Amino acid sequence: MLSKKTKYAINALVFIAKNKKDEPISVSRISEEHQIPLKFLETILTELKNARIVNSTKGKYGGYSLNQTPERIQMAKIIRLFDGAIALLPCVSENFYGRCEKCIDEETCGIRQIAMEIHSETVKRLKAATLADIIKREEKLKK
Amino acid sequence: MLSKKTKYAINALVFIAKNKKDEPISVSRISEEHQIPLKFLETILTELKNARIVNSTKGKYGGYSLNQTPERIQMAKIIRLFDGAIALLPCVSENFYGRCEKCIDEETCGIRQIAMEIHSETVKRLKAATLADIIKREEKLKK
DNA sequence: TATAAAACCTATCAGTTTTATAGGAATTAA
DNA sequence: TTAATTCCTATAAAACTGATAGGTTTTATA
């Protein structure tokens, strides 16, 4: 399951992306709109900023805006940033590889093979799921 | 990521299933073979027993054996037993449904639609992944 | 130049979950 | 009777999650 942090991050990004004027959006604005605790959301946006997904404008009338086009912001990246590995097992993870505890032989592990297949399928979909894609889906669903 | 509990459970089940003679297998035997803490493994097998996946024989020379054929024991079930929902979001879970916090409209949520697609694909694979399937895969990989 | 609204910084913390450990009671084959 | 086992109940350390607290710094604008 995705953590609240990841879900809040996705909601915030969708909210920022939907804003057509190119003025930055403040944390307090997103916080009110989505009922996300202000201070918690602040740390989330700081992480997104450190990952160069958004950038910030300081001072009055400041806030956050996207640092990449919505087409380039993939859910795979957001999830990895906040929740870590997407894989079911560390031994099939691309970005957070690790051996399983007490694994006898990775090469002949049956459950590993299954995890690999699920992983590649899931990652493929989470890379296709960009901010732009999500917004397009929502527009379609609203009709 | 799967919890250690789930991984230990799968390892234990594979070990029990591989045993051809139909004598039960003791927890201590699995614990030694797989380096899993004895008492921890005990609680895992108790849960598997409560879920009617294995059954137990008490007393000397007792232990655990499968309560279903390896063809009927699906990884989906084991994972749900120890880790809960397979889905990325509670709102697309079959067995552990719940609304997302602060969700405005489930029907028009874009990330939900993506989570649904990933969920159905993943569950399909985790249902096909039976104990028998895993063992067959391992035999193939050993060649 | 004062003010208000914002990001930025650092620290803390409560609750839950995960991963165990401890010590025995009951059961059963030999 | 003994040894090996499951079964039962309680406890606990460590890590993680979700959040709060109290400011400092920056900047647009009246």
Give pLDDT tens digits along chain B (143 positions).
999 999 999 999 999 999 988 899 999 999 999 999 999 999 999 999 999 999 999 999 999 999 999 999 999 999 999 999 999 999 999 999 999 878 888 999 999 999 999 999 999 999 999 999 999 999 999 98
Across the interface, whether the CB atoms of B88 and A138 are under 8 A apart is answered no
Contact call for B89 and A129, based on CB within 8 A = no
| Cβ A53 vs Cβ A77: under 8 Å | yes
Domains identified in chain A, total number: 2
Tell me how long chain A is: 143
CB-CB under 8 Å, A34 with B113: no
Query: Are residue A78 and residue A134 in the same domain, yes or no?
Result: yes
Quick one: pLDDT at residue B123? Answer: 98
Q: Are residues B8 and B60 in the same domain?
A: yes
A106 in the same domain as A125: yes
Q: Do A23 and A78 belong together in one domain?
A: no
- The per-residue pLDDT for range A55-68, each reduced to its tens digit, is 999 999 999 999 99
Distance CA(B119)–CA(B86), nearest Å, equals 7
Q: ∠ CA B108-A69-A122 to the nearest 5 degrees?
A: 55
Predicted local confidence at residue A9, as pLDDT: 98
Per-residue pLDDT at A2? 97
Same domain, A22 and A43: yes
Per-residue confidence (pLDDT) for residue A44, from 0 to 100: 98
Q: Count the neighbouring beta carbons within 10 Å of the beta carbon of residue B58.
A: 7
pLDDT digits (tens, 9 = 90+) for A25-75: 999 999 999 999 999 999 999 999 999 999 999 999 999 999 999 999 999
Same domain flag for A128 and A95 = yes
A102 and A49 in one domain? no
For chain A, the 3-state helix, strand and coil shares in percent, each to the nearest 5, are 55, 10, 35
How much of chain A, in percent, has pLDDT values that exceed 90? 92
pLDDT given at position A11: 97
- pLDDT recorded at residue B21: 82
pLDDT, residue A72, reads: 98
CATH number at residue A61: 1.10.10.10
pLDDT at A143: 84
Could you tell me whether strands A54-57 and B63-66 are parallel, antiparallel, or unpaired per DSSP bridges? unpaired
In the predicted model, what is the mean pLDDT of residues A93-108?
90
Last residue of a domain, one of A49, A66, A83: A66
Which tokens go with B117? 């697609």
Considering only residues 84-143 of protein chain A, which place a Cβ less than 7 A from any atom of strand C? 101
Nearest to A6, CA basis, from A68, A118, A69, A83: A83
Q: Is A48 exposed, middle or buried (0-12, 13-18, 19+ CB in 10 A)?
A: buried
Range of the domain at B56: 4-66
- 53-72 of A, contacting B, C-beta below 8 A: none
Q: Are B79 and B59 part of one and the same domain?
A: no
Q: Which of A41, A66, A91 finishes a domain? A: A66
Same domain as B80, residue B137: yes
Residues A102 and A124 in one domain: yes
> Which residues from chain A sit within 8 angstroms of residue B1, using beta carbons?
84-85, 87-90
pLDDT of B10: 97
Instruction: Answer with the one of B66, B94, B117 that is the final residue of a domain.
Output: B66
pLDDT digit string, tens, across residues A121-139: 999 999 999 999 999 999 9
- Asked whether residue B34 falls in the same domain as residue B91, the answer is no
CA to C1' distance (Å), from A29 to D19: 19
Q: What distance in Å separates the CA atoms of residue B79 and residue B50, rounded to the nearest whole number?
A: 15
* B137: contact with A, CB 8 A cutoff: yes
pTM of the model: 0.95
Regarding whether A81 and A33 lie in a shared domain, the answer is: no
pLDDT of residue A101: 79
Q: Which residues of chain A lie closer than 8 angstroms to B125, CB-CB?
A: 114, 117-118, 121
In percent, how much of chain A has pLDDT > 70? 100
Q: Is the pLDDT of residue A97 over 90?
A: yes
